[in-house]
Structure 1
Amino acid sequence: MTDAALHDPIDPVPASRSAAPTWFDADGGRLLGQTCDACRSVFFPPTLDFCGNPSCEGETFTVQPMSSCGTVWSWTTNHYKPPAPYVSEEPFAPYTVLAVELATEGMVVLGQLSPESDPVEVGDTVEIRTETLLEDENGTQLVWRWMRTVNQEDAR
């Protein structure tokens, strides 16, 4: 081995990262909400500078992990490709969007159904799953998607 070969830099493995790091902890597989320090109201996504509770004037928040599972409240399948910055594979494939009532917080959060999931119906239990959105020269971007919980009775 040549001396030059010993000193050639090794290409680092690109890092995995959340596509929305303030909304989703890809390592922990949890959505991130914000709790008002004054009234304890919980909000998602965590983008407020003031409390959204009309009876509170709070302006400070604590970021907290939210429930990783919930109940399908509603769903629809999108058959069109949204405009940029939406990222999709080519050719475009329809995808299902779920409205999920989080188990602990009781709020409804939107998110895509994993293409690896069984189909869902209203009332089914789903859980967060970390999946790859895209891979590029900067590494892998990860997103959350919902996956139908396997251990539930199928009423269909």
Structure 2
Amino acid sequence: MVARWFDGEGEGFRLLGTRCAECAAVFFPREDGFCRNPGCGRGELAEVALSRRGRVWSFTDGRYRPPSPYLSDPELPWDPYTLIAVELAEERMVVLGQGAPGVTVADLEVGMEVEVVPGVLGADPENPSTTWTTWNWRPVGVTA
């Protein structure tokens, strides 16, 4: 079985984590082998959809071309992107992700509410109709 990091579409799009049945710790990225809580008796792990919204904990812009295995054609110009660390209120955990297309650091403030939305990481160069998907964060109330 391939571990999924997210699922759903539109308002149903969610990041997927795991929750320990014994200590209730939540993990993202998901953990399928054992509970990472050192004080736990190693309870059974179950998939759980994480909160759709959270608050900006920190943010920055990426102005460098990341190294492999990130997919980036060195022949094309590099476009900076926004990285956003979001604290999910219910889970009390911070999840890092890129800002949705068009979201810049000028659009963000620490503490503002953001939501998770589907994103596109890239396309298969040998089959451009095949895309690799990911998640993005965007300010609540902003539409793509």
1:149 is aligned to 2:136: no
Deviations 1:108-133 (A, max 9, x none): 00001112236111111100111222
RMSD of aligned Cα (Å): 2.1
Contiguous gaps of at least 5 residues in structure 2: none
Deviations 1:59-115 (A, max 9, x none): 521011001110000111111111111124631111111110012111100001112
Larger RCO: Structure 1 or Structure 2 (Cα < 8 Å, ≥ 6 residues apart)?
A: 1
Which secondary structure state, in structure 1, belongs to the residue aligned with residue 17 of structure 2?
strand
Which secondary structure state, in structure 1, belongs to the residue aligned with residue 83 of structure 2?
strand
* Shift of residue 21, structure 1, vs aligned partner: 5.7
Distance 1:21 1:113, change over 3 A: farther
Number of residue-to-residue matches in the alignment = 132
Contiguous gaps of at least 5 residues in structure 1: 1-19, 152-156
TM-score, length basis structure 1: 0.75
Which secondary structure state, in structure 2, belongs to the residue aligned with residue 116 of structure 1?
coil
Percent identical among aligned pairs is 44
User: In the alignment, what sits opposite 1:44?
Assistant: 28
Return the letter of the residue paired with 2:81. Y
Distance 1:142 1:21, change over 3 A: farther
User: In the alignment, what sits opposite 1:57?
Assistant: 41
State the structure with more CA Rg.
1
C-alpha distance in 2 between matches for 1:87 and 1:26: 24
C-alpha distance in 2 between matches for 1:21 and 1:139: 20
User: In the alignment, what sits opposite 1:130?
Assistant: 118
1:24 is aligned to 2:6: yes
Residue correspondence of structure 1 range 88-127 to structure 2 within 5 A:
88=72, 90-117=76-103, 119-127=107-115
TM-score, length basis structure 2: 0.81
